[in-house]
Structure 1
Amino acid sequence: MDLNEWRPYRITTIADVFKVYFRLAKKYTIRMEYDLEDYKNRRINFTFGNLRRASIDFIRFLLVSVFLATMILARDTESILSAKRFETMLEIDRIDLLFLLYMAVSSLLEYLWIYTFWEILVYDSAYNEFIAIQYKFDDSKLESNNKRLLLKYFIIRGYLMGIAYKIYALFFMGLFTILSHKHYALYVTDQVTLLDLVSVLIPFFILMYHLIFVSGQMFLVMFCFEFSIRFLRIRFQQLCSSATIQINRLNPLPTRFMRMYYEIYANIAKFNQSAQNYFFVTELLSKINMIFLTVFYSKQTQLKSSSFLILYISVQMIVNTTLVYHMVSFFATKNLLYYRSLLINFIRFQFVTKRTSSPLYTKARPRNLISMKAKRYDCSADLKKNFFLQTMPSNMIGFTCGRLFLITSYKYVELLLMNLIFILLFYKKLLLKEL
C-alpha cells in the first residue's frame, strides 16, 4: 500500500490493521514520527529533526502555490510560465481552472494537517485516542466471518488502492518527462534560454512530487479512513443482529447488548471528534469539484484524452465522497430502526408480565424477603432499560459534517439531489451567459 511496497500485507488481527493505518497517517497526514506511548506520556519529540518532514512538505506547498499563481496571472503573456503555453503543449483549454482547483485542494489538505498537528501539539487528539483503543481490540468481539471479511477487504482493497496510487505516481512522472522533452526541444531550437529551461523544469518537478504526495493522501489515507467506518459499521450491525436473535419473552433487552452499545457508541463518538472536520473538508471539496467540473467542461472546444482524464479524476472525487456519505448514513438509520424493534418487544414483554402477574391469573402467595428483593431488582432493571430506550433515538450515533449536521440517510439523499440541481443550475447559468 505504499509506493515502495508491491506485495499485499500479511495481516491476521484487527490491531495489525490499525498499526498499518497509523503508520500511513504519520507519513501523509501527521508528517512526523512518534508512537502512541509518547503521546500518552506527553513525551513527543517536537525538535526540528522530527518536524523536518512536515516543514519540507509545507514549504513545498507554498512553492507550488506561488508557481501555480504565477502561471495563472501570466496566462495571457508571452512568459515561459504562461498558462497558455502549457495549454498548447497538453492540448487542454483553460488549464488555469485546473491550477485553481489544485490550489484549493492542496490548501484544504494543508488546513487538515495544521488542525491535526495542533491537536497533537496540545495532546488533545481524539484520533490518537481512537487508534490507541483499537490497538487493544479483542478479535473475539467480532464473529469469525465478519473478521475474515474485514481483513480480506483491507488486504485486497488496500492493495488495489496502492496500485492505483503507484499508477498515478508513474503518470505524473511521465507527464514531467513529456514536458521536459518539449521544453528541451524549445531550448535546442533557441526558442528559450537555459535559464528559462531551468526556471520551468525545477518548479514542475516540485509540482509533480507534490502531486504524488497529494495522491497518497487521497488514496491511502482516505482508504484507511473508509476502513475505520466500515469496521465500526460491521461492529454495530453485528451487535444489532446478535441482539435480535437473543430477544425473547424472558429478556427483551439483554444487559450485554446495552454494554456493547455504549462501547461502540463511545468509539464512534471519539472517532467523530476528529472525523467531523474531515467530512466538512470532503464536502467542501466535493462542491468545489462540481463547480470546476461544470465550468471546465463548458470551456472545452474539443474533448481530448487529456481533458477527459481530468474530468474523470474530478468525477471520481465526487463519487468517492458520495459513497463515504452512503456508508456513514447507515448508523443513524439503523439506530432508529432497531430502537423501534426493541421498543415494540419491550412493551410486549411488559404487557405480558403485568398480565401474568395479575391476581386474575395467579394465586396470591405470601411475600417473603427473597421475593421482595427480587421484585425490587426487577423494577430497577426495568427502569434502566426504559432509560436506555429513551436515550437511543436522541443520542445522535453516527458522524457529523463539521458542526453543521448529522449525516443520515435523509441528509444523504438531500445532498445528492441538491448536488444534481446545483450542477444543472450552474451549467444553465453558463449556457445563458454564452448565448
Structure 2
Amino acid sequence: MNFFIFIALIIFYLLTIYPVLLFYRNDELSLLVLIIFILIITNSLYRIEYMVGQLFVAMKYLLFIIEFFKLQLKRMVTNLQLTIKFGKFSQSHINMRMFWTRFLKEYVQLYYEMAILNQTISGIYFDIEAISKSAIICGSLFYSKQIQMNVYNTIIVIFFLSPFIYANGLYTRVAQFPLFNQIASRLTIQWLARLQYQKFYKHSIYRSRSLIHDAIKLNLFTQTMSDNRFGISCGQVFFITKFKFVELFLMNFVLILMFYKKFCLL
C-alpha cells in the first residue's frame, strides 16, 4: 500500500512540476522562483507521504482487528450450523451439554472483547462518518463548479471521494457482525424448538431435572443473544447494521442532491 501511495505522489509531483518547468522555459519564471517552488513542493509532498502512510497503517490495523473478530464469529456460527445440521448431539445429552457449554463460553468471551473494542473505536467511526460526509459534500460542490475536467481537478475529486469509499467499505465489514449474531440466534431458536418438541412431548423419559435446567438456560441465553448489540457503534449516534448501512448509503445521495440544489443551482 505504501508503494502505491509513493507512486501516486510521484505522479502528482511530476504533474505539478511540469507546468512550472514550461513557465521557466518560456522565461515567465526566474531560476530562483523555480528552485524555491521545487523545494516547497518537495518538502510538502514528503510530509504528505509521511502523514498518509501513518494514516494507512492505522486504517490497516483497524481493518485487521475487524476482520479478525469477524472470522472468529463466522467460525462459531459455521460450527453451530454444521453441528445442528448433522445432528451430532441429537441422541446424546452429554455431547449436547459439552457443545453448548463450549459455545456459550466462546460467545460470551467474544462478546466481551467486542464490547471493549466498541468502546475504543466507536468515536473513530463517528469521526470517519463526519469526514466522509464533509468530503462527499465538498467534492460534489467542487465538481459542480468545474467548467472542464482535467488531470488536476480529477485528482482532487478522487481525493474527496476516497473517504466516502473507505467509510462505506468499513461499514460493509462491520455490518456483518449483527448479521452473524442474528443467524446464530435464529439457528439456536429453531434447534431448541425442535429439541423441546421431540424430548418433552414425544419421549417422556427425557423429562429429567438436568435436561429441563439445560433447556431453561439455553432459552434464556438465546433470548439474550437475540437482544445483544453485537457489533460496532458510530459514536453515540447509531448502531451499525446492514439496514443502517443501506439507509446511510441512500441518504448520502439525498444529502448531495440537497446541497447541489441549495448552492449550485443559484
TM-score, normalised by the number of residues in structure 1: 0.53
Per-residue CA deviations over 1:4-53 (Å, capped at 9, x if unaligned) read: xxxxxxxxxxxxxxxxxxxxxxxxxxxxxxxxxxxxxxxxxxxxxxxxxx
Moved more, 343-352 or 223-232: 223-232
Per-residue CA deviations over 1:301-330 (Å, capped at 9, x if unaligned) read: 111111112212322331121111011101
The answer to whether the 8 A contact 1:172-1:208 is kept is no
Give the C-alpha shift of residue 200 in structure 1. Answer: 5.4
Give the C-alpha shift of residue 286 in structure 1. Answer: 0.7
Segments of 5+ residues of structure 2 without an aligned counterpart are: none
Instruction: Tell me the residue number matched to 2:167.
Output: 321
Give the C-alpha shift of residue 375 in structure 1. Answer: 3.8
Q: Which amino acid aligns with 1:302?
A: Q
The answer to whether the 8 A contact 1:240-1:338 is kept is yes
Q: How does 1:369-408 map to 2 (within 5 A)?
A: 375-408=208-241
Instruction: Tell me the residue number matched to 1:425.
Output: 258
Instruction: Tell me the residue number matched to 1:352.
Output: 198
Task: Say whether 1:164 aligns with 2:4.
Answer: yes
Segments of 5+ residues of structure 1 without an aligned counterpart are: 1-160, 363-370
Instruction: Tell me the residue number matched to 1:222.
Output: 59
Secondary structure of residue in 2 paired with 1:254:
helix
Residue 70 of structure 2, aligned match among 214, 233, 243: 233
Give the C-alpha shift of residue 395 in structure 1. Answer: 1.8
Q: 1:313 to 1:240 in 2, by over 3 A?
A: same
Q: 1:420 to 1:217 in 2, by over 3 A?
A: farther
Instruction: Tell me the residue number matched to 2:153.
Output: 307
Residue 121 of structure 2, aligned match among 271, 275, 281: 275
Q: 1:325 to 1:421 in 2, by over 3 A?
A: same
The answer to whether the 8 A contact 2:177-2:230 is kept is yes
Instruction: Tell me the residue number matched to 2:179.
Output: 333
Moved more, 295-304 or 261-270: 261-270
Q: Which amino acid aligns with 2:140?
A: T
Give the C-alpha shift of residue 284 in structure 1. Answer: 0.9
Give the C-alpha shift of residue 219 in structure 1. Answer: 3.1
Give the C-alpha shift of residue 170 in structure 1. Answer: 2.5
Distance 1:329 1:190 in 2: 56
Whose helix proportion is higher, 1 or 2? 2
Secondary structure of residue in 2 paired with 1:321:
helix
Distance 1:344 1:207 in 2: 60
TM-score, normalised by the number of residues in structure 2: 0.83
Secondary structure of residue in 1 paired with 2:154:
helix
Give the C-alpha shift of residue 181 in structure 1. Answer: 4.4
Q: Which amino acid aligns with 1:241?
A: T
**CA RMSD after TM alignment:** 2.9
Q: How does 1:32-431 map to 2 (within 5 A)?
A: 161-174=1-14, 177-178=17-18, 181=21, 185=24, 203-247=40-84, 248=87, 249-250=90-91, 251=96, 254-358=100-204, 375-431=208-264
Per-residue CA deviations over 1:385-414 (Å, capped at 9, x if unaligned) read: 222112112221111111211100110011
Q: 1:190 to 1:246 in 2, by over 3 A?
A: closer
Distance 1:177 1:224 in 2: 34
